[in-house]
Amino acid sequence: MRLKLVRDDTTIDFFKRARLWLGISLVMMAVAFVSFAIQGLNYGIDFQGGTSIRTQSEVPVDVAAYRDALAPLELGDLSIAEVFDPTFAENEHVAMVRIQAQEGDERIASETIEQIQTALRTVDPGMEFPSISSVGPKVSGELINTAILAVALAVGAILAYIWLRFEWQFAVGAVLALLHDVLLTIGIFSELQIKFDLAIIAALLTIVGYSINDTVIVFDRVRENLRKYKKKDLKEVLNLSINETLSRTLMTSGTTLLALVALFVLGGDVIRGFVFAMIWGVIIGTYSSIFVASALLLVLGVKRDWSKKDPAAGTRYGHLDT
């Protein structure tokens, strides 16, 4: 017996309240933009600068115990992560302690480092500190610029790909939906003031890939149906296409969310920000694939010549299919 989340004969009218969905998206984007403009992002150590201290111990790493030991020092933003490597010996336990720059200084004072080492040795008196390195504000600024460039290049490459595979209306609709997803993800991090670091940039790029995959599945079915139903109104073709791919969309999103929720609950503090971004991104990406991208395509329209009997009618680049 095959599990079906959506019946084969489903005929939901996704455009009955298209203006409402687009209005909700515009309001959420405006809130995200205002939040970012007023309070900005709560940048982590990667973007603020700070010091990384590598610890090595024969005692298994206990992140909570490390945090409790360092809490009295009031060091501000603190990140502790266990380092795993198959080359480590069985009794070799390594962690990376990252501390934000103190009052704009590039390096933490030597006295402060000594206090940190003393505090951590209360957890394990035999703890060693193989390396200590600092990231200054200049390097952090370069990381921000590189992160922005990475997201921009990813979106630009997707725009070119969709334009070649379909038509420019599909490309514009898909990219605007992607920008919608990215802006809302950044907005919720700004609104909730969750730490924003390089892991979140990785999550943003993953969200872009996930969202465009969903959108391309829908658009591919739209193109097929444009060829198949040449006399149907574009709105009807879009509705039909979304309904036909709805089961696949919900199944993919649902199974992905199951894994992400498990990671969010059981994965610990180290990856919680990344996983939260992914959960939000999957939800928003699914929403935008169904309601935003298709609604934008309906607004932009797709040029079709009804007089032609060419099976590729409805797409300029149908011959590129494999």
> Which superfamily, per CATH, for 18-42+140-320?
Multidrug efflux transporter AcrB transmembrane domain (1.20.1640.10)
- pLDDT score for 260: 92
- pLDDT score for 316: 47
- pLDDT score for 282: 92
> pLDDT for 291-303, tens place per residue?
888 888 888 887 6
> pLDDT for 50-90, tens place per residue?
788 888 888 888 888 888 888 888 777 777 888 777 777 78
Coil/strand/helix, residue 290 = helix
- pLDDT score for 107: 58
Residues 6+ apart with CB under 8 A from 235: 15, 298
User: Angle 166-170-175 (CA atoms, 0-180°, nearest 5)?
Assistant: 120
Is the CA virtual torsion 208, 175, 160, 170 positive or negative? positive
Ranges of the chain whose pLDDT falls below 50: 1, 306-310, 312-322
- pLDDT score for 138: 60
Q: Are 194 and 42 in contact (CB under 8 A)?
A: yes
- pLDDT score for 257: 93
* Placement of tokens 């039909």 in the chain: 240
- The percent helix, strand, coil of the chain (3-state, each to 5) is 60, 10, 25
Coil/strand/helix, residue 21 = helix
Q: Name the CATH architecture for the domain at 50-135.
A: 2-Layer Sandwich (3.30)
Q: Are 86 and 42 in contact (CB under 8 A)?
A: no
The rounded distance, in Å, linking the Cα atoms of 108 and 50 is 8
The rounded distance, in Å, linking the Cα atoms of 249 and 244 is 10
- pLDDT score for 280: 93
- pLDDT score for 44: 73
**Per-domain residue ranges for the chain?**
18-42+140-320, 50-135
> pLDDT for 215-228, tens place per residue?
888 888 888 888 88
Same-fold call for 18-42+140-320 versus 50-135: no
